[in-house]
Amino acid sequence: MTRRVVITGLGVVAPGGIGAKAYWDVLANGRTATRAISSFDASRYRSRIAAECDFHPEEAGLTPQEIRRMDRSAQFAAVAADEAVADSGLLFADLPPHRTGVSIGTAVGCTTSLEEEYVVVSDGGRKTLTDHRYGVPHLYDYLVPSSVAAEVAWRVGAEGPVNTVSTGCTSGLDAVGHAAALIREGSADVVVGGATDAPISPITLACFDAIRATSPRNDDPAHASRPFDRSRNGFVLGEGAAVFVFEELEHALRRGAHIHAEVAGFATRSNAYHMTGLRSDGAELAQAVTAALAQARVEPGKLDYVNAHGSGTKQNDLHETAAIKASLGAHARTTPVSSIKSMIGHSLGAIGSLEVAACLLAMRHGLVPPTANLHDPDPSCDLDHVPLAARETPVRSVLSTGSGFGGFQSAVVLTGNGTERGGLAQ
């Protein structure tokens, strides 16, 4: 018998709003959370804008020791996990610990804390032989990002399979796929999974500057992230986390849980082409989409919404348009395809899970979030990109796509309608 996997809890830390409710308020209203970087002096950088979270760890419920110990990315994950657990209504303390797992995605882990500590132990970059006597006790936790999954595991008492998934910018989709796989194969009944990243730091800005990947539209940060627009000139960095409670379907039904959606399909492929470049035909992403739809047994014509990677770089949006056309065929033009990166930027590994969260909320509210800032569509990106304003429509089957450095191409298919039994076919 095939075990099915549903999402019964949702938690979000996002630019423009902490918590799923505030997050949806941003997306549903097409508000942009991109702005001039405030967390450090970015005046020397080519791109000086980002979508920052107004996050106060103590207000979010973290203790002083947790705040000292955890990198910002781990703090995001912990707070989002707490919300997801509360939303699920599951009493984790009553679950058999070895049947609970964790799957947290992150692209760059604790990079912000690593850089802060580097500055100290190297004395501002002066010492190549860094001075260990100035290292904080948690330095190793910042080095190895499995510490982020460990923090979540401790919070929920998980003693089953626990992993950090780190596939760059598809981490957030791949962590969802991994969580579902653990439940489907029987390694766990409940998995707390999602993704987090807090990459707005000098070294991250500098390396994206060096490859001119980020938007230099510094004079108009609120309108800088322009997926599918003719004037797009790069992505805008973001940060945040989304964490879910994944549950085996029967487990959820037995306790009468509210079901957000079923994780019906997941697939990933590699482009085997270039660490940062994309082939214009989008063949590998198309393959991932086709495989995920097949697993979900969802015909392309039945998709109500595609949440696109839509990063706003010249090459991504062309690549993705080709991939969607190749995989959805005639339905590519009639299915709404929007990019929420227009509003909350690109939070690297976290964004895939933030996009899955957006899909769940779209299903619940029957509303497709828009692509903000899309005033002058690129004629080559000729799909229905839901410009500027959200669109009311029933959303029962959705596809979320992701593409990232290293050649990773991933697709998640969700089904259901957010009602009591998830509106799932039995």
Partner 1 sequence: MTAQEFITLQDIVRALRAAAGAGDGIDLDGDIADVTFSELGYDSIAVLETVGALEREYGFSMGDEAVQEAQTPGQLLRLAVEAAGGVAGLAA
Partner 2 sequence: MSGTAFTTVVTGVGVVAPNGLGTEEYWAATLRGESGIRRLTRFDPAQYPSRLAGEVTGFDPAAHLPDRLLPQTDHMTRLALTAADLAILDAGAGPEELHTFGAGVVTASASGGFEFGQRELENLWSKGNEYVSAYQSFAWFYAVNTGQISIRNGMRGPSGVLVADQAGGLDAVAHARRQLRGGASLMVTGGVDSALCPWGWTAQIATGLLSTSEDPARAFTPFADTANGYVAGEGGAILVLEPEESARARGARPYGSVAGHAATFDPPPGSSRGPALRAAILGALADAGCTPGDIDVVYADAAGLPDKDAAEAAALCEVFGPHGVPVTAPKTMTGRLYSGGGPLDLATALLGFRDGVIPPTVNVALPDPAHRIDLVTREPRAVPTRTALALARGYGGFNSAMVLRAPVARRTPHQ
The one-letter code for the residue type at 189 is D
**Nearer Cβ to partner 2, position 86 or 119?**
119
The token pair at 200 is 């707005």
Q: Which stretch binds partner 2 (CB under 8 A): 33-41, 84-92, 226-234, 270-278?
A: 270-278
State which residue, 56 or 212, has the beta carbon closest to partner 1. Answer: 212
- The reply to whether 346 belongs to the active site is yes
Stretch that binds partner 1, among 106-114, 119-127, 268-276, 316-324 (CB under 8 A): 268-276
Among 21, 56, 68, 98, binds partner 2 (CB under 8 A): 98
Residue 420: other Cβ atoms inside 10 A: 10
Binding partner 2 (rule: CB under 8 A), the pick from 38, 63, 270, 380 is: 270
Q: Which is nearer to partner 2, 213 or 383 (CB)?
A: 213
Q: Which is nearer to partner 2, 202 or 377 (CB)?
A: 202
Measured from the CB atom, is 209 or 384 closer to partner 2? 209
Q: Which does 216 bind (CB under 5 to 8 A by kind): partner 1, partner 2, none?
A: partner 1
Is residue 91 close enough to count as binding partner 2 by CB under 8 A? no
Residue among 5, 60, 80, 162 that touches partner 2 (CB under 8 A) = 162
According to CB under 8 A, which residues from 194 to 213 bind partner 1?
210-212
Q: Is residue 76 within 8 Å of 196, Cβ to Cβ?
A: yes
* Catalytic-labelled residue, pool 178, 258, 260, 309: 309
User: C-alpha dihedral over 148, 150, 156, 161, to 10 degrees?
Assistant: 120
Nearer to partner 1, 86 or 211 (CB): 211
Considering only residues 20 to 59 of the shown chain, the ones binding partner 2 according to CB under 8 A are 44-45
- By CB under 8 A, residue 277 contacts partner 1: yes
List the structure tokens of 240.
């945040």
What is the DSSP code (8-state) at residue 276? Answer: S
Say which DSSP state 346 is in.
B
Cβ atoms of 270 and 408 within 8 Å: the answer is: yes
Nearest approach in angstroms of CB 190 to partner 1 is: 42
Print the binding letters for residues 222-241 with partner 1: x by CB under 8 A, - otherwise.
Answer: -----------x--------
Q: What is the C-alpha to C-alpha distance for residues 57 and 369, in angstroms, rounded to an integer?
A: 28
Q: Distance (Å, rounded) from C-alpha 407 to C-alpha 365?
A: 34
Site for partner 2 in 305-334 (CB under 8 A): none
Q: Does 272 bind partner 2 (CB under 8 A)?
A: yes
Rounded-to-integer distance, Cα 216 and Cα 334, Å: 33
Geometric angle at alpha carbon 7, from 343 and 340, rounded to 5°: 10
Contact between 218 and partner 1 (CB under 8 A)?
no
> Which SS3 state, helix, strand or coil, does residue 323 take?
helix
Q: Which range in 21-29, 368-376, 378-386, 400-408 contacts partner 2 by CB under 8 A? A: 400-408
Closer to partner 1 by CB, 216 or 377: give it: 216
Bridge-based pairing of strands 261-270 and 408-415 is antiparallel
First-residue to last-residue Cα distance in the chain: 13
- Among positions 144, 314, 419, 420, the unique one binding partner 2 when judged by CB under 8 A: 144
Active site residue 169: yes
Q: Give which of partner 1, partner 2, none residue 287 binds (C-beta under 5 to 8 Å, depending on kind).
A: partner 2
- The verdict on whether 110 is a catalytic residue reads no
Query: Of residues 53, 110, 169, 359, which has the active-site annotation?
Result: 169
- How many Cα atoms are found within 13 Å in the side-chain-facing hemisphere of 153? 20
Structure tokens at 37: 């970087």
* Contact track, partner 2, 274-303, x by CB under 8 A: xxx-------x--x----------------
In the list partner 1, partner 2, none, the entry touching 417 (Cβ below 5 to 8 angstroms by class) is none
Residue 274 binds partner 1, judged by CB under 8 A:
yes
Q: DSSP labels for 35-102? A: EE--SS--TTSS--EEE-----TTTTT--HHHHHHS-HHHHHHHHHHHHHHHHHT--GGGS-GGGEEE
Near partner 1 by CB under 8 A: residue from 275, 330, 379, 426: 275
Radius of gyration of the chain from its Cα atoms, rounded to whole angstroms: 20
Q: Which residues ranging from 123 to 142 are in contact with partner 2 (CB under 8 A)? A: 124-126, 128-132, 135-142
List the structure tokens of 145.
Answer: 């990002």
Contact 79, 19 (CB under 8 A): no
User: Nearest-CA neighbor of 139 among 57, 58, 68, 239?
Assistant: 68
Q: Compute the distance between CA of residue 45 and CA of residue 91 in angstroms, rounded to an integer.
A: 47
Catalytic residues: 169, 309, 346
